[in-house]
Amino acid sequence: MKTSKRLEGIGEYYFSQKLREIDELNKAGKSIINLGIGSPDLPPHPDVIKTLQEEAAKPTVHAYQSYKGSPVLRKAMSDWYKGWYNVDLNPDTEILPLIGSKEGIMHICMTYLDKGDEVLVPNPGYPTYRSAVKLACGKCVEYKLKEKNNYEPDFDALEKKNLKKVKLMFVNYPQMPTGQLPTKELFEKLVAFGNKHGILIIHDNPYSFILNEAPMSLLSIEGAKDCVVELNSLSKSHNMAGWRMGMLCGAKERIEEVIRFKSNMDSGMFLPLQLAAAKALSLGKEWQDEVNKVYRERREKVFELLKLLKCKFSKEQAGMFVWAKIPAAYKDGYALSDEVLYKTNVFVTPGGIFGDAGDKYIRVSLCAPVSKFEDAIERIKNQKSKS
């Protein structure tokens, strides 16, 4: 069957391909330590599970739910934004619960893009921005994020571009894959840029609680609601990646526009999931501290592993990965990643999958227990002593 034109140039997602290869290697008896993907391996808070269990046992919760999400969940999201980010959001009109923030990226592209419309996407950046733009028949215009500029967009270079056809811009801080934290100045520049050029800035913010003491929302900047929507997620902050629980926040008009598309795609979320997510959002700082204590300990091991590989990295990164520059002896991160995989059965992600600006880097996930990192370190040490 011939697939649609919109699928041309859209490959299978890198990780689904790579996980198949890792599966084959495992079947062949290698026990691969996978330090690639950012899927939290720890469970949510026990009260969250308890709420899901109790709610799911009720006879009245199994019907279709509202397209806009349960009022209880929207209120919890609004309180969470006020409590952590000091952002006021009307729970009835300025929040749309999502089945994970990834679907929001696609919905936004389908809501706003026509053929030929342009979108600024970060390089390196989350590959889904690029594929969603292409699937919606838009055109990606990459902006490079460079280490020497603290992985911030070069606004002077952007101003020199012809921005007439640019409708959207994807940004993401703490940045994935580089781990770069935002500053208030950067956020102010983004809002000024969006307002000046009539570009809708989509801030994708799933990592603000991981190894970061000061979570920030782009919506906290004055004038932001005129040109910003923000995606957020419980996947990383609450160890709920498989639950598929996210949100879109922004001006009432933007939320209504996206609902016009989304309400044709799905029919709401299981109510007990929504109520359990509301419970998760009510957890205090002790929860975040507990999660971060685990990641901090793991990160020390990753630093050790990266030193063995002679990679260079900043210790000031946020999010659940460490981004590191490879030694000059390797052509690119793919070469280093393959060498580590085939010689030591440890998988780390080549930075090039996030765009060519990531070619000289690798990314190591913190989503494995300390014992796995210790194992990986041992394997690399053994291999080094042999060569």
Ligand X SMILES: Cc1ncc(COP(=O)(O)O)c(C=O)c1O
Answer yes or no whether residue 340 interacts with ligand X by CB under 6 A: no
CA distance 277 to 239: 11
* Positions in 33-72 near ligand X (CB under 6 A): 38
For residue 380, what are the contacts with CB-CB under 8 A and spacing of at least 6? 305, 308, 309, 340, 344, 346
Q: Which of 70, 101, 208, 217 binds ligand X (CB under 6 A)?
A: 101
Task: Choose one: 141-149, 154-162, 233-241, 297-305; the region binding ligand X (CB under 6 A).
Answer: 233-241
Of 201-220, binders to ligand X (CB under 6 A) are 204, 206
* Stretch in the footprint of ligand X (CB under 6 A) among 4-12, 94-102, 180-188, 211-219: 94-102
Under the criterion CB under 6 A, does residue 187 sit at the interface with ligand X? no
Q: For residue 354, state whether it binds ligand X (rule: CB under 6 A).
A: no
Per the document, the length of the chain is 387
Range in contact with ligand X (rule: CB under 6 A) among 28-36, 69-77, 97-105, 116-124? 97-105
Distances (CA, A) of 239 to 199, 242, 323: 33, 8, 21
The neighbouring-strand residues paired with 139 are: 118
Out of 126, 187, 295, 373, the only residue in the binding site for ligand X (CB under 6 A) is 126
Q: Which of 40, 44, 91, 100 binds ligand X (CB under 6 A)?
A: 100
Q: 181: Cβ–Cβ under 8 A, 6 or more apart, which residues?
A: 173, 174, 212, 316, 317, 318
How many residues touch ligand X (CB under 6 A)? 13
Q: Pick the binder of ligand X from 102, 203, 262, 360 (CB under 6 A).
A: 102
Residue 15 CA from chain centroid, whole number: 14
133 binding ligand X? (CB under 6 A): no
Closest C-alpha to 255, from 69, 100, 46: 69
Rounded Cα distance, 155 and 199, in Å:
14
Q: What's the CA gap between 176 and 107, in Å, rounded?
A: 20
Residue 169's SS3 state is: strand
Among 65, 131, 178, 233, binds ligand X (CB under 6 A): 233
Report the residue number, 45 or 244, with the smaller CB distance to ligand X.
244
CB of 129 to ligand X, least distance (A): 8
Q: Does 167 bind ligand X (CB under 6 A)?
A: no
Query: Which residue in 110, 171, 176, 377 binds ligand X (CB under 6 A)?
Result: 176
By beta-carbon proximity to ligand X, the closer residue of 175 and 345 is: 175
| CA-closest candidate to residue 271, choices 100, 57, 107, 46 | 57
User: Which strand (E) or helix (H) includes residue 103?
Assistant: helix 101-112
Among positions 95, 241, 269, 322, the unique one binding ligand X when judged by CB under 6 A:
241
Question: Is there a cis peptide before residue 124, judged by omega within 30 degrees of 0?
Answer: yes
Q: Which residue has the tokens 């490959």?
A: 11
Q: Is 153 in the site for ligand X (CB under 6 A)?
A: no
Q: Given candidates 124, 246, 272, 358, which one binds ligand X under the rule CB under 6 A?
A: 246
Which of the stretches 98-106, 193-201, 298-306, 365-373 binds ligand X when contact is defined by CB under 6 A?
Answer: 98-106
Q: Is 172 in the site for ligand X (CB under 6 A)?
A: yes
According to the binding rule CB under 6 A, does residue 295 interact with ligand X?
no
Measure Cα distances from 23 to 18, 55, 334, 364 in Å: 9, 36, 19, 19
Nearer of residues 287 and 330 to ligand X, judged by Cβ: 287
Cβ proximity of 135 and 6 under 8 Å:
yes
Binding residues (CB under 6 A) for ligand X: these are 38, 100-102, 126, 172, 176, 204, 206, 233, 235, 241, 246
